[in-house]
Amino acid sequence: MNPTIPTLTKAPPTADQGAAPAAAEDGYEAVTGLDKETVALKRTYEAEVEAKVASDYSHIVWAYGILWSLFCGFAIVLLVRGSRQQRDLQALRRELERRGEQAVDGP
């Protein structure tokens, strides 16, 4: 990881710690919100989570894809084998019919 990006090794400072007392003196009221450091930390944290979730999802897609393509592959093998058997069966029937005709024509 890039060393310049701060990570959440310490607890993020809460927003009302630094700015609130100064606002009361000169009538200036600070917008309540997060200070820059906290925002940066939160963004880093979000990026980390996003990266983890994205990687997890790519893993999931791969895993599910492989599982179902295995099943489909096996089904295709079965189909091919089945059609070969169909052809074999047709050949058998033709052979039997041929012999039947011979038997009728013959004696």
Partner 1 sequence: MSALLRSFGRPGVLLFAALVTFPYALQRVFLHTPIESEMGTAQKIFYFHLPMAWGLMLFAMISGVAAALQLLRRSERAEDVAKAAGEVCALLGIGALMSGAIWGDATWGTPWTGDARLVTTALLELVFIAYLIVAKFGGPMAGRLAAALAVFGALDVPIIYYSVKIWKTTHPKAQVVQSLPPEMWASLWPCLFAILACSFALFELRLRQERVERRLDEAWLALSAGDAAPAEHTALSGRSA
39 scored as a contact of partner 1 (CB under 8 A): no
Q: Binding string to partner 1 for residues 40 to 79, with x set by CB under 8 A, is what?
A: ------------xx-xxx-xx-xxx-xx--xx--xx--x-
Rounded-to-integer distance, Cα 13 and Cα 19, Å: 12
Say if CB 9 and CB 45 are below 8 A apart.
no
Smallest distance from the beta carbon of 24 to partner 1, in angstroms?
42
Instruction: Report, in angstroms and rounded to the nearest whole number, the Rg of the chain calculated over CA atoms.
Output: 37
Alpha helices in the chain, H assignment, sequence order? 19-25, 36-105
Smallest distance from the beta carbon of 40 to partner 1, in angstroms?
23
Say if CB 78 and CB 52 are below 8 A apart.
no
Using CB under 8 A, list all residues that contact partner 1: 52-53, 55-57, 59-60, 62-64, 66-67, 70-71, 74-75, 78, 81-82, 85, 88-89, 92-93, 95-97, 99-100, 103
